[in-house]
Structure 1
Amino acid sequence: MSTVPRYTTFETARGFCSIAWGEFGISGFCLPAESAEDPRRAMLRRHPTGVEAEPMGEIGRVIERVKTYFVGDVVDFSDLLLDLSGQTDLYRRIYDATRRLGWGKATTYGRLAGELELGPAGAWTIGQAMAKNPIPLIIPCHRVLAAGGKLGGFSAPGGTLSKQRMLELEGLPSVEASPAQQSFGF
């Protein structure tokens, strides 16, 4: 029997984030937004039975690591226990591969698809997995770029501007959105 997911909202140097967790690990994360209410609402959409809770122990330490990340210090989240039970086996493989991208490293949808031997539609599949990533930052989808090193999409608050800022925070060179991405707002 699974327990009710818990979540909390907290402030970082870049805005308010939310994190959800349960008995099997971290199950959700919302990137910074201007108000605390935005990530709180987003978390409850993803975890409608979630209960706001005081972060204790390991989750408190994860929150401190997130705060450290958003001031620009090198942080590695690859050791954290994640609950990806709601994901397909394929998406879990994609997220595992994405977690191997360390601070300041990036790849493309196509390269990641090639590494995982996903075939002709692989880059599209990677893009879909990144768009549906339930634990952004900790599963660093911001480090996965479109062909030619373009930004690609980003579904977090602030869109591609947030993705660009996170990459810059990690010391990656400036990446520009393609004209199509700019005109469609992704």
Structure 2
Amino acid sequence: MGEGAYAPGHTLFSTAIGMCGIAWAQGTVIAVQLPEATPERTRARLLNDLPRSAESASPPAAVQAAIEGIQALLNGEPRDLLEVPLDMDRVTPFQRDVYAIARAIPPGQTLTYGEVANALGDPSLARAVGQALGHNPFAPIVPCHRVLAAGGRSGGFSGGNGVPTKLRMLQIERVRIGREPGLFDG
């Protein structure tokens, strides 16, 4: 293996919202999984579409840094996680474009599906943006939770426990949705 490359593996790790999973290969993160109902379900969903990989008790340094960044983000630290290298080989060019825009949304801020579509140059792509985010294999490194439906509505969310997980992540980031005071507003 060349410099920066390491054997494929995966592991589960604890966060403020539950047990997450991460998988890696060849120097990049290949998938992240938000908490499911049980650690076993989290692992199964993480590995669902991945090549077989052995679990590693000790992730490589770059993966450990990604884990620590995710833990900090889910503890309320404003982390953008842009330094985490992602393997985009399993996603389409359109998904790559959507994920690049989502990654550029700073913690605590949001865009709508329509705004992401506009940034792509075609306002009619809002639904396709939602579908691409629904297939995001890198949440929260690609922060699809920061993309909302029109009018500040939550929209869908395929990670973890669905929309409640999305709303919890937005609350952790102190995002205010709509006109109602947020959980952390005093």
**TM-score higher than 0.5 here?**
yes
Which one is further off, 123-132 or 69-78? Answer: 69-78
1:4-43 aligned at under 5 Å gives the runs 5-43=8-46
Aligned pair count? Answer: 175
Q: TM-score when scaled to structure 1?
A: 0.87
Q: CA deviation at 1:56?
A: 2.1
Aligned-partner SS, 2:29: strand
1:58 pairs with 2:77: no
Distance 1:175 1:8 in 2: 37
Distance 1:117 1:124 in 2: 14
Q: CA deviation at 1:61?
A: 1.3
Q: Percent identity?
A: 35
1:167 pairs with 2:165: no
2:96 alignment counterpart: 92
Which one is further off, 125-134 or 21-30? Answer: 21-30
Distance 1:70 1:130 in 2: 19
Is contact 2:16-2:71 (8 Å) kept?
yes
2:143 alignment counterpart: 140
Which one is further off, 144-153 or 29-38? Answer: 29-38
The structure 1 segments of at least 4 consecutive aligned residues displaced by more than 4 Å after TM superposition are 1-4
1:158 pairs with 2:161: yes
For 1:134, the aligned partner's letter is P
**Deviation readout 1:57-96 (Å, 9 max, x if unpaired):** 1111111111112221221211211101111111111111
Q: CA deviation at 1:24?
A: 4.7
Is contact 1:142-1:167 (8 Å) kept?
yes
Unpaired stretches in structure 1, ≥5 consecutive residues: 177-186
Is contact 1:151-1:175 (8 Å) kept?
no
2:81 alignment counterpart: 77
Distance 2:122 2:132 in 1: 13
C-alpha change, 1:3 and 1:75, in structure 2 (3 Å) is closer
For 2:40, the aligned partner's letter is E
Is contact 1:4-1:49 (8 Å) kept?
no
Q: TM-score when scaled to structure 2?
A: 0.87
Is contact 1:25-1:81 (8 Å) kept?
yes
**Deviation readout 1:13-54 (Å, 9 max, x if unpaired):** 221000011115111000123432121111121214122112
Unpaired stretches in structure 2, ≥5 consecutive residues: 180-186
Which one is further off, 156-165 or 28-37? Answer: 28-37
